[in-house]
Structure 1
Amino acid sequence: MKNALITASTKGMGRAIAIAFAKEGINLAVCSRNASDLDAFKSELSAINPNIKIVTSVTDVSIKQQLLDFAAAAEAQLGAIGIIVNNAGIYEYSSILDDADGTLEKHVNTNLAPAYELYRYFGKKMINACDGHIFNICSVASLSPIAEAGTYSVTKYALLGLNKVMRTEMQPHGIKVTAVIPGSTLTDSWKGTQVDKDKMVLPEDVASAIVNIYKMSSGANVDEIVITPTYGQI
């Protein structure tokens, strides 16, 4: 049975991805900063598939030691991690010139550094096992910057760059790396705003894409997948 680690797993895309993998019979290591959310989600996942193992961890992924402790606990309780989904991210509506002090560090530590650290932690282990698939949840801001979210755009550009480096390094070893690039997606980032969900990407759409990419033959890798709203960005 395969084991997957997903960061920021109780809401939005992370939640949908975890549910989709649970339905596929994949053991899960999930994290959140909120213990009660994790407990409730673990119960939900167990009801979806009582045959899988689920590891939960109260983790702030922007804090390196907490992230590495989560990785170690997942490995200790599940065994080798064959799937990593770097989903954690923050979005702040601000131009760079209007950023508060510390904004860059906060975005780097949440949107970029966790993917880098988990790659360093698990990468050579995946090579030794000749097995693994890393998914990095990027953004259309990785392709075209959003002026009203400048620092977010910078870190998402960097995450897509990291994804390309990962893929280049892992390709000779048969380890798959995929950048998932969604447009306007109905997550908590939109809480408090009036939006039409029928004109947005849903978290379940992203989860479906990831599961189907993961299930492709061993000889096929999706380097990047862009998923945008039918009617255009919101």
Structure 2
Amino acid sequence: MQLSLNGRAALITGGSKGLGLAMAKAFAQAGGNVALVARGAESLAQAEAEIREAAPTAKVAAIAADIRTAQGCEQAYNGAVRALGQVDILVNNAGTSQRGPFLEVTDALWQDDLDLKLFAAVRLCRLALPGMRDRKWGRVINVLNIGAKAPKATSTPTSVSRAAGMALTKALANEFAPHNVLVNAMLVGIIESDQWVRRHAADKRNITWEEWKAEQGKPVPLGRIGKAEEFAAMALLLASDMGGYVTGTAINVDGGSSPVV
């Protein structure tokens, strides 16, 4: 079985690093065209170069935009349409992990988290779904976290915004299924990404990256942390025609570490 995107155009937020970049590479290597959205122009340029090297025939667009605002979402979507012609696949991947004791989380932190992880997805879906509906083909993938299903203590606001993203996924899947527009969520466990690189860098024990990964992977049933390429492979399946009977799901990509399915 060979997964192919057959020239489909994908818009990926948070596309310059980590999981977003891994998905962009996988999509481009499978015959897709990709528009990367992030705030940092330098990291976008580097990501664009990496994808062009990995998939020389793919169309690649790098769009600097702050999708925490309505204007930034319009800038991202319109830039993708100008570069690629349309958006067939929307991957809402941008996000951080705002967390802390509930009584210490301010309104400003709540709003920033919701703007980036929930309202950006709402706004981009509102822009992309009409075209997908009219063409009778579309894919939306919302990248969330296993905390959306099983939030831990001191995990607000990130777990709450992720749970809202899961509800958005199911509601849109049911509404747009008659138009062959599939909407799914992927819930991240411990997977190599820019976020985990930063956590390792902040560790004061001066242990190597390999030692740190081994330590973090011990509680995972598979005994290791995941690879970004493994996550990207699942995204590619959902984005392709081979995933054509999967919609309204929230798939754990976590090595079995989530307490719920």
Question: Structure 2 length normalisation: TM-score?
Answer: 0.84
CA distance in 1, matches of 2:174, 2:121: 15
Partner of 2:235: 210
Aligned residues with identical type, % of pairs = 26
CA offsets per residue over residues 130-179 of structure 1, 9 Å max, x none? 11010000111110112122110110010001101110111111111111
Q: CA deviation at 1:231?
A: 6.0
For 2:26, what is the secondary structure of its paired residue? helix
User: Residue 213 of structure 2 corresponds to which residue in structure 1?
Assistant: 196
RMSD: 1.8
Alignment of 1:57-96 (within 5 A): 57-96=63-102
Gap change, CA 1:81 and 1:151, over 3 Å in 2: same
Task: Decide which structure has the larger Cα Rg and report it.
Answer: 2
Alignment-mate amino acid for residue 215 of structure 1: S
How far residue 7 of structure 1 moved from its aligned partner, in angstroms, is: 0.1
**8 Å contact 1:4–1:29 — kept in the other structure?**
yes
1:15 aligns with 2:21: yes
SS in 2 for 1:138: strand
Specify every segment of 5 or more residues in structure 2 that has no aligned partner in the other structure, as ranges. Answer: 1-6, 204-211, 218-223
Deviation per CA, 1:73-118: give whole Å up to 9, x if none: 1112211211010001110230221113401100000111111001
1:185 partner SS = coil
Q: Count residues with an aligned counterpart.
A: 233
For residue 251 of structure 2, what is the aligned residue in structure 1? 225
Q: 3-state SS of the aligned residue for 1:127?
A: helix
**Counterpart Cα distance in 2 of 1:47 and 1:202:** 20
Residue 149 in 1 paired to residue 175 in 2? no
Could you say what secondary structure the match of 1:196 adopts?
Answer: helix
Given that 2:89 and 2:139 are in contact with CA atoms closer than 8 Å, whether structure 1 keeps it comes out as yes
Q: Return the TM-score normalized by structure 1.
A: 0.93
